[in-house]
Structures are given as structure tokens and as C-alpha cells.
Structure 1
Amino acid sequence: MSDEPDETPSLDVPVGMFEDIEDLKAQVARLTSLLDVRTGGGGEPGEPSDEDAGGEAAAAEEEEEEEEDAEAEWKSPPFILLLDSPQYDEELRALIEWVEGVLVPGYLAEPSADARWCHLWFEHNVVIARLHAAWLAWQELTDPASCGYTGPSVWHRDHLDPALRELRGSSGPFSGCTKGEHQVEHRLPSTVPSAWNRLGDDGALAPP
């Protein structure tokens, strides 16, 4: 005796329902295709594809390299008196250009007993060290991208003014430049001889 029913039962289903089902199938197919495209087609919904994971890894590596470069840039150049040639000569050459191109004509009034200046300042190591520190601060604090618009004010207050007080005071490093064998002729800033003229191609200072 067969288990099959004698006749197929009739289902009273509206024709419109079949059309709705076909529409739902088409929508599911479109959503599935879109999901495959966004996830790379290989993983479960919501899981990152291999391409996304690779991009994130590359971005993290690039960010780490940028941080390392920034850290290396922040540490360079080191204290000028610790440099050896030719790095020292190159750094001193750049410092001389800044001092005589910016500092001397812009900030140094006529030298006097209370405000001394030596046009051979680069022969004083302590002067080189202090002016180099002021120059490094100037490079950072005159860049609005790194310090905003208050940088120049901070530079004058915290770096330039203290440096000039120490250098130009009566007991500063120029105190011996006005007497005895150390005397040198002090001039107005407009006629200070350029130290560039005393630097050879190799960066060495020529005798006065």
C-alpha cells in the first residue's frame, strides 16, 4: 500500500503572494551581492575582508614611521658644541647667516658698556652655544603650524631676551673684548663685517 496521498491537496493561495515572494527573493539577492562587495566576498557579514585588514595594517605602519621620523627630527640637530666636523662647520655656517641676517640688524643697538657685542662673536664658544639655542627655538616658535600665533611672543620672552641679557651684560662673555689684548673694534650693526667673508669653502674660519 503506497504512502503517497491519493490526490494532491489544493492550496488556496492568492496569485499576488507568489509575486511578492519573487520580489523578496530579488531583493535578498541584491543585498547579498552588495554585502559581498563590501566585505570582500569571503567572510561573514560584519567581518573585515583581507583587503581591509591589509589597508589597516599599512596605515598603522605608515603612522608609526611618521612618528619615528618626527621623533628623529625633534632630536636633530643636537647641542652644537657636541658636534664634530663637518656637521659642526655646517651648523655654525647656518647660525652665522641667521645671526648676521636677522639678529644683528634687527635687535642689536649700538654697543656700549651696558650692552656689549663682539663682531667676532663666533670665536666665543659660550656665545655660539647660547645663540644656537635661541636659533633652534626661533625655528620652532615662528612656525604657526606648530606653535600657533603666540610663538614669536614666547620666543622673545623666554629665549631672545634672556640670551641677550646674558651675552651683552658687563660680566658676560664680551667683557674682555673692550680692554687689553682682547680689544676688538665694535661697530654699529649696519656696518658689522659679515663673518661669512671669513668662512672658507670648507667651513673653516680664516684669520682676521
Structure 2
Amino acid sequence: MADEPEDVPPALDVPVGMFEDIEDLKAQVASLTDLIKKLTGPGGGESGEASADEEAAVGEESDEEEWQYPPFILLLDPPEYDDELRALIEWVEGVLVPGYLGEPSADARWCHLWWEHPVAIARLHAVWLAWQELTDPASCGYTGPSVWHRDHMDPALRELRASTGPFGGCTKGEHQIEHRMPGLVPSAWTHGDD
């Protein structure tokens, strides 16, 4: 071993394609790291790990309005409530009614003025919010629609269309649905004034 120079690296039999694979893996790791940082937000990393680029981005975010999840419709005030209700009506009338509702009957009620029933608005809005999330393969994969049917749409329609549901006071007439809101239920709170 005395005749070999000390600073010469040993000869390795490494395929050339391996270096390309390593560079591809480095690029994928960098891409995934960026995605994780975006998804976890500014507090996602450990303390002291923020780079100058990240600090600059945080400063820019304060200038822009931060995106928020849509709030539950019953918590909104006009005009936000009106805008959300209009969008909900478009979805219910354009997707839910033609795709999922058959002819109304005593066992499967429906009111063509469903937006006049606060309980129906609340349930349908919740189903719509879940539909928006669970029909996007980027956020939930390909099983999202199945989860939406099982966990959201089916139970909500069972409750809405039941004889004891919010449409229980709505009757079907000849060739039209007549709308009749149920009267106020007597309360123990109002009897104290007598």
C-alpha cells in the first residue's frame, strides 16, 4: 500500500444513471419540503429555522387579506348571508335536486321553498361545504365522494325528507307543492306571562 498515493479516491463502479436519480430525488424532496411549509403555515417549522425568504413572505402576507374557511351560513349577517344563500341555492337546485331527489312523497318529503326553512338551510349548507371539500381529489383523494355520500349527504337527506323533518308541514297538491310552514310550538317560557 505504500506505492498508492494517499489523495486519490478509490475507483467506484457507479452507474451514470444513479447520479440523475439522486438529483431527481433531491428535487422531489425540495418540492415536498416547500409543500409542507405552505400547508403548515408560518408556524410549521421548528423555531429558528425560518429563512430570509420565509420572513419576507410573512411580511407580505400581512398586507394581503388572509384566506379563511367559509363560515357556517347561520352565523353570517347580510349581505354575506344573502351571497352564501344564493350560492347554496344554485348548488341545491343545480346539483342536489336533479341528481338526488326523486318525486316527493309521504316517505320522502321535499319543499320547493326549502330556503324558507332555517333547518333545511343549515343542513344543506353543511352538506354543500362538505361536498366542496370532498369532491376535490387534490385535498381528499379519490374516496372523497364516497365519504361525502356516506357521512354527509345520505344522513342529511334522511333527516330533511323524514315525515318529522322540516318539510313535514309542507304538502303536495295536485301538480304543485303548496307551502305551509308549521306553526309556533307552545313553550313553557311563554306560559309564565299568563
Give, as a single letter, the amino acid of the residue that structure 1 aligns with 2:176: E
Is 2:49 the counterpart of 1:57?
A: no
Supply the distance in 2 between the matched residues of 1:156 and 1:89 (Cα, whole angstroms). Answer: 27
Aligned residues between the structures: 127
Quote the offset at 1:77 in angstroms.
Answer: 1.6
Bigger radius of gyration, 1 or 2?
1
Contact 1:111 1:186 (8 Å CA) reproduced? no
Matched with 1:81 is 74
Segments of structure 1 that go 5 or more residues without pairing to the other structure are 1-54, 188-208
Identify the structure with the greater helix proportion.
Answer: 1
Question: Which digits, 9 at most, give the CA deviation of each residue in 1:17-43, with x for residues without a partner?
Answer: xxxxxxxxxxxxxxxxxxxxxxxxxxx
Supply the distance in 2 between the matched residues of 1:171 and 1:129 (Cα, whole angstroms). Answer: 16
Matched with 1:155 is 148
Residues 112 and 148 (structure 1 numbering): CA distance in 2 closer, same or farther, change over 3 Å? Answer: same
Supply the distance in 2 between the matched residues of 1:144 and 1:104 (Cα, whole angstroms). Answer: 23
Is 2:169 the counterpart of 1:176?
A: yes
Matched with 1:191 is none
Identity rate, percent:
76
Segments of structure 2 that go 5 or more residues without pairing to the other structure are 1-49, 179-194
Supply the distance in 1 between the matched residues of 2:75 and 2:117 (Cα, whole angstroms). Answer: 15
Supply the distance in 1 between the matched residues of 2:161 and 2:58 (Cα, whole angstroms). Answer: 45
Quote the offset at 1:76 in angstroms.
Answer: 2.8
Is 2:139 the counterpart of 1:146?
A: yes
Question: Which digits, 9 at most, give the CA deviation of each residue in 1:147-206, with x for residues without a partner?
Answer: 010100000000000000000001000000028xxxx9339xxxxxxxxxxxxxxxxxxx
**TM, length-normalised to structure 1:** 0.55
Residues 126 and 60 (structure 1 numbering): CA distance in 2 closer, same or farther, change over 3 Å? Answer: same
Selected match of 2:83 from 69, 73, 90: 90
Supply the distance in 2 between the matched residues of 1:63 and 1:87 (Cα, whole angstroms). Answer: 28
Is 2:118 the counterpart of 1:128?
A: no
Matched with 1:99 is 92
Q: CA RMSD in A?
A: 3.0
Is 2:112 the counterpart of 1:119?
A: yes
> Which structure would you say has the larger RCO, counting Cα contacts within 8 Å and 6 or more residues apart?
1
Residues 140 and 64 (structure 1 numbering): CA distance in 2 closer, same or farther, change over 3 Å? Answer: farther
